[in-house]
Amino acid sequence: MFKKAINQELMRNNNKAQILRCVKAKQVVSKRELTEELGLSTTTVSTFIRELEQENLIQNSGIARSTGGRRSLLYQLNPDYCYTLGLDLKVDRIVGVLLDFKGDIKAENEIPVRDRDEWKVVPLLKTFIHDLLAEYEIPWAQLGGIGIGIPGVLNNEGEIIDFAPNLGWKNVDLPTMLALDKPIYLENEANAGALGEVVFGLGQNVDHLAYISVGMGIGCGLIIDHKLFSGHLRNAGEFGHMTVESEGFPCQCGNKGCWEVYASNSAALRMYTEKTNNKQVTFPEFLRRCRENNDQATEVLQTVTKYLGLGIASVINILNPEMVIIGGEITNVKSLIFNSLLKEIKERTLEKSFAGVRLEFSQLGNKAAALGMGTIVLEKIINALP
């Protein structure tokens, strides 16, 4: 009898969760559509709709257009039930996006990071979080959780930063250091970027995706069979550290000749500095000079593009993705590099794999990873609901 009661409660919770998820997926939906979509009775759907309304998880969003009979009420997630904050901790900046419960962008901001020491970054993160909420008048109590994209490798539980070479971090317990009374979730920033593209960007309805995050380093987020692939020890996608020059320049990871040493933003700045002896130039300034057809900047961009194509070709040959999306500030010079990049990839990729892949540049600007982290937190909240 006790076991039967438990099974009934599990079934009840499962039906309620299915209805909530269906409302989330459809965005706006009627009871009739829920009944048809989920195969539940009208009474069951009505009961749980009423409960979800009472719990402020969903709300009425109007009346459907008449199809000849009685017009149906429409329901959607209550956007103000709670908010999630997605952060992308880059080597040189913090990008933040605030999402409401429907997953719509409520606010966004970014600030520079000038000192990468974790003890300096933590107070900067805390101030950034509180300032963003205050600016948009979001009460702390309504923040459901925080997600942070990390440019490095996490431990198996995803709670501690094992190694973030471009930040110089090892074994950093960021959630504990932040000491905030909110759930904090970590994920590799490229993985978060891939999720951001799947939910908000060009990766919607793509089953096999490789998201190439080009920043001060290079990361790769992988979507396989429409699911994030993290690998056995959460280390999958570290293509930035595959060797492209066996006796090349040293990398922060301890290896030498890594892909990111030749195709990242920091690689471009290093090459440009070697040519001009200008150590003060920033990457946006470098890109501006590329757009102005500066000879030295253009020459460096050509070299970086060659190495970027070489690496992407390897990703395509190994994974056979349906789509490759390039993210990062390099997208701002898409028109300058697209043809030469595609040519490099084609020359180094198996013919069948190349014919089946789409090369795209992200349209999410620098927000892909932050959006992905906000989405991860939303999923955590929905999964935890009774």
Q: CA angle, corner 179, sides to 178 and 184, nearest 5?
A: 70
Report whether 153 contacts 186 (CB < 8 A): no
| Per-residue tokens: 106 | 């409520």
What structural domains does the chain harbor?
Answer: 2-77 (1.10.10.10), 83-193+369-384 (3.30.420.40), 204-363 (3.30.420.40)
pLDDT at 279: 85
| Termini Cα distance of the chain | 22
Report whether 143 contacts 80 (CB < 8 A): no
| Residue 3: φ, ψ to 5° | -65, -40
pLDDT at 69: 58
pLDDT at 163: 94
pLDDT at 326: 98
DSSP string, 102-121: TS-EEEEEEEE-----HHHH
Number of H helices, E strands in the chain: 13, 16
Report whether 165 contacts 266 (CB < 8 A): no
Report whether 336 contacts 301 (CB < 8 A): yes
d(CA 124, CA 115): 10
The amino acid present at 122, given as its one-letter code, is V
> Residue-wise over 39-70: b if at least 16 C-beta within 10 A, else e?
ebeeebbebbbeebeeeebbeebeebeeeeee
Residues 6+ away with beta carbon under 8 Å from 37 = 22, 26, 29
Q: Is 365 left (phi over 0), alpha (psi -120 to 50) or beta?
A: left
d(CA 193, CA 220): 9
List residues bridging with 154 in a β-sheet.
Answer: 161
Report whether 84 contacts 196 (CB < 8 A): no
Report whether 349 contacts 317 (CB < 8 A): yes
List residues bridging with 323 in a β-sheet.
Answer: 209, 358
What residues of the chain score a pLDDT lower than 70?
A: 1-13, 66-70, 386
Report whether 95 contacts 112 (CB < 8 A): no
pLDDT at 12: 64
How many Cβ atoms from other residues are within 10 Å of residue 329's Cβ?
Answer: 16
pLDDT at 3: 42
pLDDT at 66: 61
| Per-residue tokens: 142 | 């309504």
d(CA 124, CA 275): 35
pLDDT at 8: 54
pLDDT at 68: 58
pLDDT at 384: 87
d(CA 172, CA 186): 12
Report whether 95 contacts 87 (CB < 8 A): yes
> For residue 8, what is the DSSP state?
H
Residue with tokens 């998201």: 211
pLDDT at 325: 98
d(CA 110, CA 88): 9
d(CA 310, CA 243): 11
Strand order in the sheet with 143-150: 105-112, 93-100, 83-89, 143-150, 184-188
List residues bridging with 263 in a β-sheet.
Answer: none
Report whether 166 contacts 179 (CB < 8 A): no
